[in-house]
């Protein structure tokens, strides 16, 4: 089993690329600008969760999508909170699962109860490794506290917790820059589609040792 507790070793594959530099160019339409502006304005204060639930969610999110300290963090927990506040649903739930809002509340309560039962401390005070251990137990369907009710912990972990947190992280432009994605694309799409082709408005990937070259190009991506 790989060690989830270590911080991510993120290679700087797209140095100096910032997808937001394209924001006022032809790749973004007004609707996209509006939607992303709203997302970037999200602050780390909960509208749906209680303060204690939100702290717990922040701790969990930091384990699911650990972030480097070298840049401002993506407010993952707040993005999940806004989705629930807006009541955006998936379109299905497993048998025994409550609807998304109730599932989150119940799931967080249950995880907290499991932390206190197994380690006699709140989840947020556990070490990262211990937090991961607890989450792995949830993933494996091994948690049986009464707080789970009829909801299976593995369903909660996979279909709610993991799903919502991962989607929140990759809804953020910072994550898009990190993976070298071209970002929003309308009205301007792409011209060069073939193997190893890159449009001037896409990020250049750095070959090892030639980061400066890629950075120079990426600073001009608009």
Partner 1 sequence: MSNDTDWLVGAGLALSAIAATAMLQPRPRTSPSPAPARLPPRTGPHPRASVRAARRLNRAAGMLAASVLADSSVEHYRGSFKNKAMVTPLAVSALTLAMSAHGTADRRPWAHRLRDGSYLLAAATGLIGTGFHVYNVTKKVGGFSWQNLFYGAPLGAPMAILLSGLLGFCSERVRDTSRARRPHVFGLPAARTIAAVTAAGLLGTSGEAGLLHFRGAFHNPFMAVPVTLPPLGAALLFNAAARDPDDDATRAHPLTRAWMWLLAAMGFIGIGFHAYGVSRNMGGWRNWSQNILAGPPLPAPPSFTGLALAGLAALGLMREHPDA
Partner 2 sequence: MSVEMSDDPQATPRAIEGRAPDVFRPGGWVPMRCHRDEDAVDFVIVGTGAGGGTLACKLAEYGFSVVALDAGPYFRPLEDFASDESEQTKLYWTDDRISDGANPLQLGSNNSGKAVGGSTVHFAMVSLRFRPEWFKSRTLLGYGADWPIDWREMWNYYTEVEQALKISGPITYPWGPKRPRYPYRAHPLNAAARVLAKGCEALGVSWTETPLATLSAPRGLAHPCVYRGFCVAGCSTNAKQSALVTWIPRALAAGAEIRDLAMVGRIEVDDDDLVSGVHYHRGGRWHFQRARNVVVAGYAIETPRLLLNSATDRHRDGLANSSGLVGKNLMTQSNQAVWGLMDDEIRSYKGPPSLAITEHWNYQDKGKDFFGGYAYMSQGPLPQLWANTLAQARGLWGARLVEEMTNYNHVAGLKIVGEMLPQERNRVTLADEVDQYGLRIPRVTYSWCDNDRRLIDHSLAFMTRALEAAGAKDIWTQDDDTCHLNGTARMGDDPRASVVDADCRSWDIPNLWICDGSVFPTVGGVNPSLTIQAIACRTADRIRAMARRGELTGQRATGTRTAAHATSASS
C-alpha dihedral (106, 94, 133, 125), degrees to nearest 10: -20
Q: Which of 72, 150, 187, 209 binds partner 2 (CB under 8 A)?
A: 187
The C-alpha atoms of residue 195 and residue 84 are separated, in whole angstroms, by 40
Structure tokens at 194: 């073939």
Burial state string for 124-156 with b = 16 or more CB within 10 A and e = fewer than 16: bebeeebbbebbebbbeeebebebbbebbbbbb
Closest approach, Cβ 164 to partner 2, in A, equals 10
Q: Which is nearer to partner 2, 79 or 110 (CB)?
A: 79
Closest approach, Cβ 15 to partner 1, in A, equals 15
Closest approach, Cβ 203 to partner 1, in A, equals 11
Q: Which does 142 bind (CB under 5 to 8 A by kind): partner 1, partner 2, none?
A: none
Name 197's Cβ contacts closer than 8 Å, sequence gap at least 6: none
Closest approach, Cβ 118 to partner 2, in A, equals 20
Q: 77: exposed, middle or buried (C-beta count within 10 Å: 0-12, 13-18, 19+)?
A: buried
71 φ, ψ (degrees, to nearest 5):
-145, 165
Contact map string, positions 13 to 42, toward partner 1, x by CB under 8 A:
-------------x----------------
Q: Which is nearer to partner 1, 9 or 191 (CB)?
A: 191
According to the binding rule CB under 8 A, does residue 105 interact with partner 2?
no
Three-class DSSP category at 38: helix
Closest approach, Cβ 75 to partner 2, in A, equals 14
Contact map string, positions 160 to 199, toward partner 1, x by CB under 8 A:
--------------------------xxxxxxx----xxx
Structure tokens at 26: 């032809």
Name the site residues for partner 2 (rule: CB under 8 A).
Answer: 2, 4-11, 13, 27-32, 34-36, 39, 63-67, 83, 88-95, 99, 132, 135, 139, 158, 162-163, 166-167, 169-171, 175-176, 178-191, 193-198, 202, 205
């Amino acid at each position: 089993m790989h060690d989830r507790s270590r911080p991510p070793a993120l290679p700087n594959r797209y140095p100096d690329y910032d997808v937001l530099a394209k924001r006022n160019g032809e790749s973004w339409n007004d609707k996209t600008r509006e939607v992303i502006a709203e997302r970037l304005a999200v602050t780390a204060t909960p509208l749906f969760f209680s303060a204690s639930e939100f702290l717990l969610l922040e701790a969990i999110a930091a384990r699911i999508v650990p972030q480097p300290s070298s840049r401002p963090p993506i407010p993952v927990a707040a993005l999940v909170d806004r989705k629930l506040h807006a009541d955006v649903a998936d379109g299905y739930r497993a048998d025994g699962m409550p609807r998304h809002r109730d599932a989150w509340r119940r799931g967080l309560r249950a995880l907290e109860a499991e932390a206190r039962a197994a380690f006699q401390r709140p989840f947020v005070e556990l070490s990262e490794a211990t937090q991961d251990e607890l989450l792995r137990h949830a993933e494996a369907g091994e948690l049986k506290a009464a707080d789970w009710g009829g909801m299976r912990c593995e369903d909660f972990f996979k279909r709610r917790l993991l799903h919502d947190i991962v989607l929140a992280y990759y809804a953020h432009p910072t994550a898009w820059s990190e993976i070298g994605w071209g970002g929003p694309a309308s009205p301007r799409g792409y011209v060069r589609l073939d193997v190893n082709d890159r449009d001037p408005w896409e990020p250049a990937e750095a070959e090892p040792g030639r980061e400066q070259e890629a950075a120079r190009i990426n600073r001009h991506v608009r």
